[in-house]
Amino acid sequence: MNKNLKKTKTISDIKRVVVVETENFYICPYIEEDFKNLLQLWRDHSTHSSDSHIEGVKRRISRFIEAYKNTELGEFMVFSKSTNELIGRITIKTDNRKSACSEFYTLTDVDFDYIFFKKFQNRTDFAVEASVAILDYAFKKINKKDRILSTYNPDKDSKGYKSVLEKIGFTDPKEIFVGEIKERLILYELKREDFYST
């Protein structure tokens, strides 16, 4: 059973707020100390690095710390309960003005995505468990909104990502092209009634 809560838990010697606890995971909002964690996750999925990317990670953490203070949504770290190991990060956000997909979102739309370390990418059971928990948390926080959106890149993302979206209840895929390079994405929608009926 997932527990939506706010409690303090020491994970790898750092005190954190736990907003959701599942059978296997603690899900926690960012803190300043997550710079190394997020940079490590980014480097796990990228073949290059630079000072600008490092500064971008710092700005991202600051932005989502502020977002959580204002909305209790944003970006969250996912930790294993049994080992305290960082599994990845999961995002549920409402401010999509800087998103490449902003032209396809309304100002009130909520966006979902996640990135796990590569060694966990094939663990779709992990992804489903953490995703269902944070989406339940989000729907309760945004009780006046009835849908959450997510995008899948068929040319870059693993097939497991698409499978997770569909298992959770995301439907109605639409092909969209975003940015100056017209990157091809598939836009999915999760309706509140579908989420709670699955």
pLDDT-derived band at 187 (thresholds 50, 70, 90) equals very high
- As given in the structure block, the two tokens for residue 135 are 């989406």
Q: Is the confidence at residue 143, as pLDDT, over 80?
A: no
User: Torsion angle of alpha carbons 171, 174, 178, 183, nearest 10°?
Assistant: 90
Q: Is the confidence at residue 147, as pLDDT, over 60?
A: yes
Q: Is the confidence at residue 4, as pLDDT, over 70?
A: no
Give the mean model confidence (pLDDT) for residues 136-164: 87
- As given in the structure block, the two tokens for residue 155 are 């040319």
The predicted structure's pLDDT at residue 22: 96
| Exposure string for 25-59, b = 16+ CB within 10 A, e = fewer | bbbbbbbeebbebbbebbeeeeeeeeeeeeeebee
Q: What is each CA distance from 78 to 39, 65, 117, 120, 182, in whole angstroms?
A: 15, 15, 11, 12, 32
Beta-bridged to residue 91, according to DSSP, are 75, 113
Helices (H), 122-158: 124-141
- The model's pLDDT over 153-181, given as tens digits with 9 standing for 90+, comes to 988 877 789 999 999 999 999 999 988 88
Domains for the chain: give ranges and CATH numbers: 3-197 (3.40.630.30)
Q: What is each CA distance from 153 to 38, 115, 160, 193, in whole angstroms?
A: 21, 13, 12, 26
pLDDT-derived band at 9 (thresholds 50, 70, 90) equals confident
Q: In the 8-state DSSP scheme, what is residue 47?
A: S
- The model's pLDDT over 30-75, given as tens digits with 9 standing for 90+, comes to 999 999 998 899 888 875 556 667 888 888 899 899 989 988 999 9
Give percent of the chain with pLDDT exceeding 70: 89
Question: In the chain, what are the helix, strand and coil shares in percent, each to the nearest 5?
Answer: 35, 35, 30
